Chain A
Amino acid sequence: EIVLTQSPATLSLSPGERAALSCRASQSINNYLAWYQQKPGQPPRLLIYDASNRATGVPARFSGSGSGTDFTLTINSLEPEDFAIYYCQQRSNWPLTFGGGTKVEIK
């Protein structure tokens, strides 16, 4: 099973600041990685797939990068609605796995 480790667990930032979230895989997953955003009481929302492709309707301030084992989700100039929990997910191997999440909170 591929383990995804997200860091940091919590990121405290102010609106307008840049957020950089990390996801590290226990083995190479090529670029088969997605990022999701989840707000309280809501289902997750797909943001990024195949490491760097924005899903439909996702604002351009969200970008993804990386390949192999190290991946980053960058949120440029945080908006109030961006404070949420973010998860990464790999589709390289079965079972599909998610990272433990990074909470982006208002400082």
Chain B
Amino acid sequence: EVQLVESGGGLVQPGGSLRLSCAASGLTVSSHDMSWVRQAPGKGLEWVSSIRISAVETHYADSVKGRFTISRDNSKNTLYLQMDTLRAEDTATYYCAKEIRYHYMEVWGKGTTVTVSS
């Protein structure tokens, strides 16, 4: 069974950092384009970042560019999102997703919650 499990969320102060992890089973992260999508409480979906199979090509939403970094560890079959200089508006549930057909989100994790507050 294909499964994505996010972890690493929590409460952090503004300006702080967190690293989210997305452990995959039943699929190889290095064989797929992968993404992070977030959802603020009571709000809609917002794409955050994507990494291509090559891992050389990455993309970011303007709202996180320069602060967040997407990466993966093939040996651990895990996707990461390093989040620095966090702001209150980054408060959300963060989902990782396996893409199909060039950037549609086919498989989703259950999400991990990030709260940025003093």
Interface, chain A (partner B; CB < 8 A): 1, 34, 36, 38, 42-46, 49-50, 55, 87, 89, 91, 94-101
Q: Which of B27-47 contact A (CB under 8 A)?
A: 35, 37, 44-47
A98 near B101 with CB under 8 A, answer no
Contact A89 to B105, CB < 8 A, known contacts A44-B45, A98-B47 = yes
Stretch from B8-16, B74-82, B83-91, B107-115 forming part of the interface with A: B107-115
Q: Is the CB of B104 within 8 A of A45?
A: no
Give the interface size class of chain B: 20 to 34
- Classify the interface of chain A: helix, strand, loop or mixed: loop
User: How many angstroms from the CA of A43 to the CA of B100 in the assembled complex?
Assistant: 17
A50 / chain B contacts, CB cutoff of 8 Å: 101, 104
Nearest A residue to B45 via CB reads: A98
Say whether, besides A94-B59, A98-B44, A43 and B50 are in contact (CB < 8 Å): no
In the bound complex, residues from chain B placing their C-beta under 8 Å from that of A91 are 101-104
Q: Which of A38, A97, A98 is most buried by chain B, counting CB atoms within 10 A of its CB? A: A98
Contact among B47, B100, B108 with A96 in the assembled complex (CB-CB below 8 Å): B47
User: How far is the CB of B60 from the nearest CB of chain A, in Å?
Assistant: 8
Q: How far is the CA of A29 from the CA of B86 in the complex (A)?
A: 32
The residues of A that contact B102 with a CB separation of less than 8 Å are 91
Q: Does B1 contact A (CB under 8 A)?
A: no
Could you list 21 examples of A-B contacts with CB < 8 Å?
A38-B45, A43-B95, A43-B108, A43-B109, A43-B110, A44-B37, A44-B105, A46-B106, A49-B104, A87-B44, A89-B104, A89-B105, A95-B59, A95-B62, A96-B35, A96-B47, A96-B59, A96-B103, A97-B47, A98-B45, A101-B44
